[in-house]
Homo-oligomer: A and B are copies of this chain.
Amino acid sequence: MPSAAYFLEHVGETYGYFFKTHDLLYSAKSKYQQIAVFDTPDLGRVFMLDHYINFTTTMEAFYHEPMAHIPLGMVDKPKNVLIIGGGDFGVAGQILKHDSVETLDLCEIDEEIPKVCCRFFPEITQKAEKDKRFKLRIQDGMIYLREAPSESLDAIIVDSTDPFDTSAAFPLISEEFYQLVHRVLRKKGVLMQLMADYMFFHQTWHEVLPRVKKNFSIYNPISITIPLYITGAWGFLLAGKDRNELNTHRITKEYLDKLGNIQTMTPELVKGWFSIPKYVEKALTAPEKK
């Protein structure tokens, strides 16, 4: 591969991002996906999976902060947390800011991802690597869940690639997955999961929501502003077991200040992310797009 290249990130067939780099640092196909790392003058160092941007050093906090601090803010003194995916340890580093957390397991199916990230993104991976509460498992998250004791976790965070049918994350939107998550979560436990954009990927939501409804007493589709992801407002699923509400009232300024060095979250922004405008409602109820 040449050392200068254009990377195209397709959203639709005819639309997407381009990135030109003269500093391709790594590019190889693992068992599961194409992994690439390159430097850019505009975005810092970029980590790309299957030609989709995963994160950049300049913008990682936009994704990693809410993925950790929204679900953990919903649970009283969360002790035991599981991340499925997240082999860059970005969410893990945020989770470990919570003093109440006693164990954090991370199930990454692709062993190449932590290797590449520890090599090229040490400032992100180190926080977790150095923490004794953190345990990396190179394992399919489905297998972990099948073997885990019932009601043993306070939060499960799915930091996967987009759960399209071509992705290793596809089983993580199956009926079995939601049943397993429900069994393994404690009574007040929550699930936070990367899902799909509301404008371009209706179909994923249409497949997932009936499965979620069947297994969880409450769920919220939320839309977090993540500048790097087309369309800037990406969709996530937050689901609660045996609860009447998932609300944001505990995600206060004091809560965020105590975690230290939060770059992108404010209590007002989080409330906004929970507020579903008409276009999202419409997407969630519209007939499937073929």
Residues of A near any B CB (own CB < 8 A): 8, 11-21, 40-43, 58-59, 61, 199-200, 225-233, 262-279
Contact = CB atoms under 8 A, between A and B. Distances in A.
Contacts of A231: 59, 227-228, 232
Contacts of A226: 232
From A41, A276, A277, residue with most partner B Cβ within 10 Å: A277
B199 A279 contact: no
Chain multiplicity (copies): 2
Nearest to A46: B15
A197 to B, nearest CB: 9
A17 B16 contact: yes
A256 B200 CA distance: 26
Nearest to A12: B42
Nearest to A15: B42
Contact of A13 (B8, B41, B58, B61): B41
A231 B276 CA distance: 20
A18 B16 contact: yes
From A14, A225, A227, A228, residue with most partner B Cβ within 10 Å: A14
B265 A269 contact: no
Contact of A14 (B11, B40, B199, B274): B40
A268 B272 contact: yes
A6 B44 CA distance: 25
Contacts of A272: 266, 268-273, 275
A97 to B, nearest CB: 15
